[in-house]
Chains A and B, each alone.
Chain A
Amino acid sequence: MGNCKNSLVIRIALWVFAFIVLAFILYFTIMSLISTSRKIAEINDSYSFNQIEKTSIDEKFFTDSTFVEMQKERAFTQSRIAMAETDSIGLTLNLRDSLAQLEVNGVVVHKTKISFQRICKAFNRANSYAVASMLSKPLNIISDTATIKKVPLLVKMAPKDTSEYKPDAIPDTSSFEPVNYILEMSNGIRIFVYQQELAKSKDVYHQMLFDVADRAKSTLKAFKRMAAFEVPEYRLYIKIKIPKDDAKIIYRAIPRNGQITVFW
């Protein structure tokens, strides 16, 4: 009799648990979907054409693909000029031609082919003109996460006298270093740069680990917001894959608070 009662309690508890889990999954899914549409609406509201100039003729212009394409190109060029005027090293991502290039004062100093690119759907689902406006100014990097050091500093203590002095050895450049990083922009866009070479299992493992760690961080952030009954933040992203050496060059060249221009 007692056993029967216990088993019933366990069953009920299991059902309640399953229900809670399912309800949470459903709540999380709905909130995540809401976050995407909110972000799209936010882009459209913040960057769409000015309501003052919204005459019937203007509105048609802003929905014309030829006009929008030209606007995008002009915005990209203007953005590169703005970046060049800072005299700093900047990164240009030309997703149209699959090119990533480093520029110093408007001069292209390094160029590489993007072998893989993915932009979040919100970019495509928002108004093209609004997205072009959003990307018409250089994006400012506010933080980064990487698998390599930004400055590969080597600390050395000065010898007390000549007997302690040892001439510098040839630097070891053979060590294994996976190159994957995320650049976070001031307007919330995240740029993921992954090395394209995945010939070694070590590379695959490190890239997967890096990706999972970032996803886990984002999910935890979303959990925290949902616990406070807030809609989680949808973060726009651009993911690219470029050769490892180029990825390293770009990461080490751009300043911590550098700028990026995107042509999409």
Chain B
Amino acid sequence: MEENLHNEGIDISNALEGDSAEVSMQGTAKQTKSRLRRLLMGFMFFFSVILFIPLLVLFFLYVIPGIQEFGKGRNSIEVNDVEFKQQPNYAKQIALLDKELQKVTKKLNAFTPNQPYIVISTTNNRFFLYENKTLVREGFCSSGSYTLLLTEGPKRWIFKTPKGKFRILSKMIDPVWKKPDWAFVEEGLPIPSADHDSRFEYGVLGDYALEIGDGYLIHGTIYKRFLGMPVTHGCIRLNDDDLKVIYKTLDFGSKVYIY
């Protein structure tokens, strides 16, 4: 009996121990769950902050300017009053405006010369020759290299083709190149006197040359492989055939547009 009770007691205590283990297991599960929840919340908070900042930036950079543009497209002030259009004063005003429009259009068109002219692009090194306001020839040329040549002294040169409107000031056949100072400095040679023999070079400018002012020329070249590239000291170089046509087409005073 006593033994039985003892055994029962053992059973009861075992049962109690089992309960407390279950309780503690449930507690651990709860704790893990709560930890997981916290972790998840933390992650969510972190990601929402991470997402919130770029979204806020996008809002200010794109949405606000978009909102500013939001609204009615066309101005509602403009109307077409049929009755008003039938008034004699209306037709008179429109005719007056039309006349003015024609006058200003004529004035603008007068800027384009009727005489032959040449257009030179220094960015893509191409030329366009016009006669009677029509393109008659186009091709490659070479223009200034945009090189800034520095010396140890104060002297410096920049090799660029000037831009704007110019005129043909003189035309030459078999031009001779009188080398300026920079041509010697560039090669590390001493600068000779103004009329020294070494300053004169024959045949390097091609068969013709057209002067556009400030020492700038449109001339031929022996470096034909460089046509289409910015390699010159400011002059415009052309190939022999193009140069011949341009020389024959353009006259003294013909306009040269460089951009």
A residues engaging B (CB < 8 A)? 21, 25, 28-29, 32-33, 35-36, 57, 60-61, 63-68, 70-71, 73-74, 77-78, 80-81, 84, 87-89, 102, 104-110, 120-121, 124-129, 151-165, 168, 170-171, 173, 212, 215-216, 219, 234, 245, 248-249, 252-253, 255
Shortest Cβ gap from A253 to chain B (Å): 4
Complex formed: what's the CA distance from A249 to B120 in Å?
A: 12
Complex formed: what's the CA distance from A116 to B196 in Å?
A: 59
Which A-chain residue is minimally distant from B188 (CB atoms)?
Answer: A159
- Given B64, B71, B85, B98, which contacts A64 in the complex, CB threshold below 8 Å? B85
Shortest Cβ gap from B204 to chain A (Å): 14
- Given A65, A106, A109, A159, which contacts B119 in the complex, CB threshold below 8 Å? A109
- Which of B3-11, B28-36, B53-61, B238-246 contacts the other chain? B53-61
Complex formed: what's the CA distance from A173 to B128 in Å?
A: 22
- Given B68, B84, B89, B164, which contacts A234 in the complex, CB threshold below 8 Å? B68
Taking a contact as CB atoms under 8 Å apart, the answer to whether B93 and A67 are in contact is yes
Which B-chain residue is minimally distant from A62 (CB atoms)?
Answer: B77
Complex formed: what's the CA distance from A81 to B113 in Å?
A: 15
A-B contact pairs, 6 of them (CB 8 A): A25-B56, A32-B68, A57-B89, A87-B165, A153-B158, A173-B229
Taking a contact as CB atoms under 8 Å apart, the answer to whether A154 and B226 are in contact is no
Q: Is the interface of B mostly helix, strand, loop or mixed?
A: mixed
Complex formed: what's the CA distance from A217 to B229 in Å?
A: 37
Complex formed: what's the CA distance from A70 to B256 in Å?
A: 33
Given contacts A29-B67, A64-B78, A127-B75, is CB(A253)–CB(B100) below 8 Å?
no
Complex formed: what's the CA distance from A43 to B17 in Å?
A: 88
Shortest Cβ gap from B158 to chain A (Å): 8
Taking a contact as CB atoms under 8 Å apart, the answer to whether B148 and A153 are in contact is yes
- Given A60, A120, A212, A215, which contacts B81 in the complex, CB threshold below 8 Å? A60
Complex formed: what's the CA distance from A127 to B79 in Å?
A: 12
Cβ contacts under 8 Å, B150 to chain A: 155-158
Q: Is the interface of A mostly helix, strand, loop or mixed?
A: helix
- Given B61, B147, B164, which contacts A154 in the complex, CB threshold below 8 Å? B147
Shortest Cβ gap from B100 to chain A (Å): 6
Contact bitstring B99-124, A, C-beta under 8 A = 1, else 0: 01100110110111100010101111
Contact bitstring B148-192, A, C-beta under 8 A = 1, else 0: 111110000010100111000000000000000000011111000
Contact bitstring B58-91, A, C-beta under 8 A = 1, else 0: 0111101101111111110111110011000110
Cβ contacts under 8 Å, A107 to chain B: 111-113, 117, 119, 165, 255, 257
Complex formed: what's the CA distance from A127 to B107 in Å?
A: 28
Cβ contacts under 8 Å, B65 to chain A: 32, 215
Taking a contact as CB atoms under 8 Å apart, the answer to whether B164 and A65 are in contact is no
Complex formed: what's the CA distance from A127 to B77 in Å?
A: 7
Interface membership of B145, Cβ < 8 A? yes
Complex formed: what's the CA distance from A105 to B117 in Å?
A: 13
Complex formed: what's the CA distance from A253 to B162 in Å?
A: 11
Interface membership of B97, Cβ < 8 A? yes
Complex formed: what's the CA distance from A253 to B61 in Å?
A: 32
Given contacts A67-B93, A104-B164, is CB(A74)–CB(B77) below 8 Å?
no
Which B-chain residue is minimally distant from A216 (CB atoms)?
Answer: B61
Given contacts A66-B94, A67-B94, A155-B150, is CB(A128)–CB(B229) below 8 Å?
no
Taking a contact as CB atoms under 8 Å apart, the answer to whether B259 and A109 are in contact is yes
Cβ contacts under 8 Å, B258 to chain A: 104
Cβ contacts under 8 Å, B165 to chain A: 87, 104-105, 107
- Given A89, A152, A161, A248, which contacts B146 in the complex, CB threshold below 8 Å? A152
Taking a contact as CB atoms under 8 Å apart, the answer to whether A68 and B73 are in contact is no
Interface membership of B231, Cβ < 8 A? yes
Interface membership of B206, Cβ < 8 A? no
Cβ contacts under 8 Å, A36 to chain B: 68, 71
Cβ contacts under 8 Å, B160 to chain A: 151
Shortest Cβ gap from B55 to chain A (Å): 11
Cβ contacts under 8 Å, A25 to chain B: 56, 59
Cβ contacts under 8 Å, A245 to chain B: 124
Complex formed: what's the CA distance from A115 to B255 in Å?
A: 32
Complex formed: what's the CA distance from A249 to B70 in Å?
A: 34
Complex formed: what's the CA distance from A35 to B65 in Å?
A: 11
Interface membership of B234, Cβ < 8 A? no
